[in-house]
Amino acid sequence: MKRPMPTPKQAAGGLHRRDFLRAGAAVATVTLAPGVTLTAFGGRAEAQASAASRWGLLVDANKCDPDCTACVSACSEENGWQDTGNPATDAQWIRKVDLKELATGRELSLPVMCQHCESPPCVDVCPTGASFKRVDGIVLVDKHICIGCRYCMMACPFKARSFVHEPVPDEARRSWSPRGKGTVESCTLCVHRVDAGRIPACVEACDVTGNRAILFGDLLDPDSEIARAIAAYPSEALRDDLGLNPGVRYANL
């Protein structure tokens, strides 16, 4: 059968082929006017971000090795960013922070990345709507409409965002994680992997080292390992006083 000439401009209207599919209809016919019908034939149901999940991380500070930077190198490799040795302009997707409690001398090390807040200040201040939260709780920058104003970088209490100052050479780019000069970027919780049912690169790398200090999972699924862990043991959010309810939590801080 010859494929009819599609009209993509009409997709902006109220009727959408995907809506038919997601409603579970294999074949849907809608009568627009006498004699004019719209027919959509079903394909596969498409996967997409769902509000039934909220993705999060649980970092166990006791398990994190101060000398290990596996998560940072894995993120750099996965997303194609490099440190240039200039902390003022370097990418800040994930970094290791070393802490020492002066009273007791206890030292600890932990990775800090975008905390994927439930109420993200970076989204509040964005003048173009480029900074947004997906329905599954992942906070992202839509670089298509980011104008590089960097308000979000100032609003973020975790300094988890950075601006791309230099052109990114083609060979350094990742097809799954586009980044380019003039836009703000941050940890995406490896959204391309999450959408494919995989775990973020930092978590995978931490598991490979055997430390298993980072746990990834769905906070809304009571049977998930992460939900059971935060229900059973104490954990806290960074800057809990701000009431942002981050998706990233820390144990044994």
Partner 1 sequence: MRLFRFLIAVLLLPGLLAAPLLAEENDSIYPDVPKALGNPHPEGNEFWRKNHMDLLLHDRDQTVRLGDREIFASLKGCMVCHAVNGADDRPVGVENPQNFCAVCHKYVSVQVDCFVCHKSTPDEDAIELLERVRPMGDTAEAAGLIDEYLEQLRYSSGRAPPGPAEATQ
**Contact positions vs partner 1 (CB under 8 A):** 3-11, 15-18, 35-41, 43-44, 46-49, 132, 134, 136, 140, 142-144, 167-168, 170, 173-176, 178-183, 191, 195-196
Smallest gap from Cβ 238 to partner 1, in A, equals: 26
Smallest gap from Cβ 206 to partner 1, in A, equals: 24
Q: Which residues contact 209 (CB under 8 A, 6 or more apart)?
A: 65, 68, 70
Q: Which C-beta is closer to partner 1: that of 22 or that of 100? A: 22
Q: Which C-beta is closer to partner 1: that of 37 or that of 119? A: 37
Smallest gap from Cβ 191 to partner 1, in A, equals: 7
Q: Which C-beta is closer to partner 1: that of 48 or that of 62? A: 48
User: Can you give the chain as a three-state secondary structure string?
Assistant: CCCCCCCHHHHHCCCCHHHHHHCCCCEEEEEEECCEEEEEECCCCCCCCCCCCCEEEEEECCCCCCCCCHHHHHHHHHHCCCCCCCCCCCCCCEEEEEEECCCCCCEEEEEEECCCECCCHHHHHCCCCCEEECCCCCEEECCCCCCCCCHHHHHCCCCCEEECCCCCCHHHCECCECCCCCCEEECCCCHHHHHCCCCCHHHHHHHHHCCCCEEEEECCCCCCHHHHHHHHCCCECCCHHHCCCECEEEECC
Smallest gap from Cβ 78 to partner 1, in A, equals: 13
Smallest gap from Cβ 127 to partner 1, in A, equals: 18
Q: Which C-beta is closer to partner 1: that of 44 or that of 223? A: 44
Smallest gap from Cβ 240 to partner 1, in A, equals: 28
Q: Which C-beta is closer to partner 1: that of 96 or that of 174? A: 174
Q: Which C-beta is closer to partner 1: that of 97 or that of 196? A: 196
